[in-house]
Amino acid sequence: MLGPLGLEPVSADALGLPEPEETETTFIGNAALKARAAALASGLSALADDSGLEVFAIGGDPGVYSARWAGPEKDFSVAMRRVWEKLSATGDDRSARFVCALALAQPDGSVETFEGEVRGAIVWPPRGEKGFGYDPIFQPTGFTRTFGEMTHEEKLPLTHRARAFEKLVASLK
């Protein structure tokens, strides 16, 4: 997504940087924490993200714990079932959103943040084998298919990550 700017990102792993523990309670907080740690350790500008699914009827869960709901094996079928079980006990509201927070940190410790979202609804049973994570249970507003049923090319421009990157790219131009 940074290609139009002629930027070639290098991963923190490729630079041998440690991954800090995500201790913040917001997507913006965790993204900023990770970006600041990478910028300070490398002496370079650093970009980090944090993203996840928020289901409104269950208090925004799984939220910043979206990956952790999948357990140590990263089994998202477990996480999706957990969302559905909690949601089923609440009533008819199935509304949800995917959120992506990007943080761009400088070696001096300054950080700029950008957030994108896509709204939709939780469906059950899961539909589609494409994508990852919660994609098979998330149907974006205005569409009849879940992210799990869409090709990468169909899904990408609709995503929370694409919307956050649009804001980042606009700020860099």
| Catalytic residue from among 49, 50, 61, 135 | 50
Whether a cis peptide bond, with omega within 30° of 0, leads into 18 is no
Helix intervals (H) in 11-159: 27-42, 76-88, 152-155
Q: Please, which residues have CB within 8 angstroms of residue 127's CB and are 6 or more apart in sequence?
A: 136, 137, 145, 146, 148, 149
- C-alpha span between 41 and 16 (Å, rounded): 10
| Helix H or strand E segment including 46 | strand 46-55
**Does residue 50 carry a catalytic annotation?**
yes
Q: Could you list the active site residues?
A: 50
